[in-house]
Amino acid sequence: MTQPDRQRDLLGPSSSLVPPLYQASVFALPDLDALDRISDGAEPGFIYARDAHPNAHLLAEQLAKLEGAEWGLICASGMGAISAMVLPYLSQGDRIVASNRVYGRTSQLFSQELPRFGVQTTFVDVNDLDIVRAALATPTRILYVETISNPLLRVADLDNLAKLAHERDCQLLVDNTFASPVLCRPLDRGADLVMESLTKIIGGHSDLTLGFLGGKGNGVRKFAQTATIWGVASSPFDCWLAARGLATLDLRMRSATTNAAALAPWLLQQPAVARVLYPGLPDHVDHQLAQRMLPHGFGNMLCFELRGGRDAVNHFFRNATGVPFTPSLGHTTTTCSHPATTSHRYVKPEEKARQGITDGLIRLSVGIENLDHIQSEMLKGLQCAS
């Protein structure tokens, strides 16, 4: 009996309740005709894991359904998904218009890496639609935004941005990581492509690194080809872990969002805190827009600034040990980060100042613990932090 036959017969009439992990880098084929059919997309199957593998295929299908997409693609990381998203559109001399409040590594990709290939990016305030309209008057291939910006939580008006982009034959590409498909589905609002860093709230347990790219129509092959050529393939085990996390995504996101909505006004009452940024607060600059864009909640991310700057941040990190300093987000428990030295470490000082990313700013990724526990742990760092 061959190994494939043995695998088929192993379970008998039973079936696995949990999808299996296919930890294989290469797959056996019966003949050249089967290879041709799989390569041409005429028949389902797998050849080489860098191109595709069962765990990535299953995860992509599940996420595409959540996002309202017709196809999905799994990449090795969020940045891998962004690269696979933008590269198929771009040639020498092309132009991107991007939000001037994007994740630090995204900003580096657009401002440092792509110019080496003759692609220029104009960064604009995407919350000013007149500025976006003026920027798109010059031929543009891509309009790139984040649903909720990292780290200062500005909310993008995807409905109107999609209209502006499509009037100019431009593609609207959206990083939806802070919102997740639980709170917002950009494709339903006119976006052409959506990406998620699965490393964050969708994975949810800080034990995997993956990215997702999804869209509508029949364009998946060109994006999959880019992912293969640039080597941003995903790990089967990480895909298996992410698929496991999807079962609780809705519960986790809604629980963490409820906690964040309660923490934001509570933080405003703390003497050590100079300001709190959260789209659910009435004084947030995008609060009314957020009510329209995020009808199911304002998310689990918030920022607060300590009056004592860097020294106060160090005091908070060293004393609020129950809210660990971890330069990422989306874990089941509450964690914090310092944008000035992590996500935006390589952003120029003047750009940090323009955005309001100060040495005293802390980004909080709120988890699903009991709210009283989160507050008591945070008080250990907030006492005398100023």
Q: Tens digit of pLDDT for each residue in 100-158?
A: 999 989 999 999 999 999 999 999 999 999 999 999 999 999 999 999 999 999 999 99
| C-alpha atoms less than 13 angstroms from C-alpha of 92 in its C-beta half-sphere | 3
pLDDT in tens, 192-247: 999 999 999 999 999 999 999 999 998 899 999 999 999 999 999 999 999 999 99
**124 - beta bridge partners?**
99
| Of 137, 140, 179, the residue nearest 158 (C-alpha) | 179
Q: DSSP characters for 268-313?
A: HT-TTEEEEE-TTSTTSTTHHHHHHH-TT---SEEEEEETTHHHHH
Domains delineated in the chain = 20-246 (3.40.640.10), 249-382 (3.90.1150.10)
**Contact between residue 79 and residue 105 where contact means Cβ atoms under 8 Å apart:** yes
Helix axes 54-67, 236-246, angle to 10 degrees: 30
Residue 339: both structure tokens together: 């944008």
Instruction: Please report the pLDDT score of residue 386 as a whole number.
Output: 53
In whole angstroms, what is the distance from residue 367 CA to residue 386 CA? 25
54: number of Cβ within 10 Å: 20
Distances in whole angstroms, Cα of residue 352 to Cα of each of 70, 185, 346, 357:
38, 29, 10, 5
Instruction: Please report the pLDDT score of residue 7 as a whole number.
Output: 57
Question: Is 175 known to be catalytic?
Answer: yes
250: number of Cβ within 10 Å: 14
In this predicted structure, the answer to whether residue 84 has a pLDDT above a threshold of 80 is: yes
Burial class (CB in 10 A: 0-12, 13-18, 19+), 205: middle
Helix (H, G, I), strand (E, B) or coil at 363: strand
Residue 31: both structure tokens together: 């003949």
**195 - beta bridge partners?**
175, 213
Instruction: Please report the pLDDT score of residue 355 as a whole number.
Output: 78
**Contact between residue 183 and residue 64 where contact means Cβ atoms under 8 Å apart:** no
242: number of Cβ within 10 Å: 30
In this predicted structure, the answer to whether residue 4 has a pLDDT above a threshold of 60 is: no
**Which of these is catalytic: 37, 50, 95, 163?**
50
Instruction: Please report the pLDDT score of residue 8 as a whole number.
Output: 59
Phi-psi region of 158 (alpha: psi -120 to 50; beta: other; left: phi over 0): alpha
In this predicted structure, the answer to whether residue 6 has a pLDDT above a threshold of 60 is: no
Question: Is 50 known to be catalytic?
Answer: yes
**Which of these is catalytic: 103, 154, 192, 286?**
103
Q: What contacts 24+ positions apart, CB below 8 Å, involve 349-356?
A: 354/100, 355/100, 355/101, 355/152, 356/152
Distances in whole angstroms, Cα of residue 236 to Cα of each of 20, 70, 200, 239, 250:
10, 22, 18, 5, 23
Instruction: Please report the pLDDT score of residue 3 as a whole number.
Output: 55
pLDDT in tens, 255-283: 999 999 999 999 999 999 999 999 999 99
Instruction: Please report the pLDDT score of residue 11 as a whole number.
Output: 77
Of 109-113, 305-309, 342-346, least confident by mean pLDDT is 342-346
**Which of these is catalytic: 185, 200, 352, 363?**
200
Per-residue confidence at 310, pLDDT binned at 50, 70, 90?
very high
The pTM (predicted TM-score) of the whole model is: 0.94
Instruction: Please report the pLDDT score of residue 9 as a whole number.
Output: 66
**Which of these is catalytic: 94, 157, 175, 238?**
175
Burial class (CB in 10 A: 0-12, 13-18, 19+), 126: buried
